[in-house]
């Protein structure tokens, strides 16, 4: 079972035999995974199942079979899902908001949804907004934000209240290069948090992920540190960096036998 941390650290997520899908099709066919503190990247082509895995960990979609345990809570019913959600920050690829809400209202509302106690909500909201560099825009209406600012407000809504598990679906889309660097710094500063990050940007994985999973067609083709993925790159694989070459090597099934 993929596990990127020592036995002495409790897993924040434990997934066993997870089957998930839509309609008649299964997307994930028996996934096992343990996730501890640190940043785990999900790489894979369109349709690989990254969002489906994140949605399931976010408890928005119950598993078809198998078990999902978050912070010691086995998610098996709406009641247990609600309990687990208190420890989960989730930024979907496209997130909903009321255009007339200010940034502050939006993040505070998300803190309420996640059950952050009322006495902590104001401070948690202000801290989350400051962490994404939007302090000067907290009174701005959501509808008045640029695409990158909107994404940062979304990140603030996911980190408010310091969740144990942070699920981010392509969080750097729309961020300019300086904002992406700041975002990386923000993730590095979140200690004792399990962060799962879906992305198409191999350089984000190289810069911030402790471990990476390469997914294709709902299966894990690789799990381990990015530097080891770079290390198994075949010389003739396409790509501009060792990690890109390692990714393409795994994806096309051309690993050099150990
Ligand atoms: N709501 C849905 N209803 C039906 N099929 C879906 C739904 N969401 C995803 N799928 C299908 O499930 C499979 C996995 O999709 P998923 O969005 O998890 O992939 P992904 O790796 O996140 O892709 P991308 O990189 O394009 O975001 C795809 O075949 C997709 O068409």
- Is residue 6 scored above 50 in pLDDT? no
pLDDT in tens, 195-213: 999 999 999 999 999 999 9
pLDDT at 137: 96
Q: Give the whole-number percent of the chain exceeding pLDDT 70.
A: 95
Dist. CA 153–CA 134, nearest whole Å: 7
How many helical (H) and strand (E) elements, i.e. helices and strands, does the chain have? 9, 10
CA of 129 to the centre of ligand 1 (A): 30
- Is residue 10 scored above 80 in pLDDT? no
pLDDT at 2: 57
CA of 132 to the centre of ligand 1 (A): 28
- Is residue 258 scored above 60 in pLDDT? no
- Is residue 148 scored above 60 in pLDDT? yes
Residues in CB range of 176: below 8 A, 6 or more apart: 148
pLDDT at 186: 87
Average pLDDT, stretch 117-123?
Answer: 95
CA of 118 to the centre of ligand 1 (A): 36
Residue identifier of the C-alpha nearest atom 29 of ligand 1: 47
208 contacts 187 by C-beta, under 8 angstroms:
yes
pLDDT at 204: 92
pLDDT at 5: 46
Tell me which residue of 194, 203, 195, 196 sits closest to 175, measured CA to CA. Answer: 203
CA of 25 to the centre of ligand 1 (A): 11
Q: Give the whole-number percent of the chain exceeding pLDDT 90.
A: 77
- Predicted confidence band of residue 9 (pLDDT cuts 50, 70, 90): low
- Is residue 249 scored above 80 in pLDDT? yes
If one residue of 25, 42, 50, 57 were mutated to test the ligand 1 pocket, choosing by the most ligand atoms within 8 A of its CB, it would be 50
Residues with CB under 6 A from ligand 1: 22, 27, 44, 46-52
pLDDT at 255: 65
Length of the chain (residues):
258
- Sketch the domain layout of the chain as residue ranges: 8-87+164-257, 97-162
CA of 24 to the centre of ligand 1 (A): 14
Mean pLDDT of the residues in the chain: 91
Residue identifier of the C-alpha nearest atom 9 of ligand 1: 52
CA of 18 to the centre of ligand 1 (A): 16
Predicted ipTM? Answer: 0.98
CA of 160 to the centre of ligand 1 (A): 27
Residue identifier of the C-alpha nearest atom 18 of ligand 1: 49
Which ligand 1 atom sits closest to the C-alpha of 45?
25
- Give the CATH H-level superfamily of domain 8-87+164-257: P-loop containing nucleotide triphosphate hydrolases (3.40.50.300)
Q: How far is CA 247 from CA 31, 58, 215, 239, 250, in A?
A: 20, 26, 10, 9, 5
If one residue of 23, 44, 48 were mutated to test the ligand 1 pocket, choosing by the most ligand atoms within 8 A of its CB, it would be 48
pLDDT in tens, 41-91: 999 999 999 999 999 999 998 899 999 999 999 999 999 999 999 999 999
């Amino acid at each position: 079972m993929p596990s990127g941390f020592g036995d002495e650290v409790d897993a924040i997520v434990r997934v066993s035999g997870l089957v998930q899908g839509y309609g008649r099709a299964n997307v994930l066919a028996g996934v096992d995974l343990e996730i501890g503190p640190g940043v785990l990247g999900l790489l894979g082509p369109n349709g690989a199942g990254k969002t489906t895995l994140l949605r399931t960990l976010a408890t928005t979609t119950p598993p078809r079979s198998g078990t999902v345990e978050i912070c010691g809570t086995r998610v098996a019913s709406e009641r247990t899902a609600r309990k687990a959600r208190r420890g989960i920050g989730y930024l979907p690829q496209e997130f909903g908001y009321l255009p007339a809400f200010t940034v502050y209202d939006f993040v505070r509302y998300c803190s309420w949804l996640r059950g952050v106690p009322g006495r902590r909500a104001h401070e948690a909201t202000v801290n989350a907004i400051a962490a994404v560099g939007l302090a000067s825009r907290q009174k701005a209406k959501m509808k008045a934000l640029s695409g990158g600012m909107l994404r940062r407000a979304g990140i603030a809504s996911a980190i408010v209240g310091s969740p144990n598990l942070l699920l981010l679906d392509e969080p750097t889309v729309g961020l300019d290069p300086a904002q992406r660097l700041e975002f990386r710094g923000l993730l590095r500063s979140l200690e004792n948090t399990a962060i799962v990050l879906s992305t198409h940007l191999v350089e984000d994985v190289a810069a911030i992920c402790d471990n990476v999973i390469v997914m294709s067609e709902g299966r894990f083709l690789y799990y381990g540190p990015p530097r080891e993925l770079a290390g198994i790159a075949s010389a003739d694989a396409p790509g501009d960096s060792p990690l890109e070459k390692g990714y393409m090597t795994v994806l096309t099934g051309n690993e050099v036998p150990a």
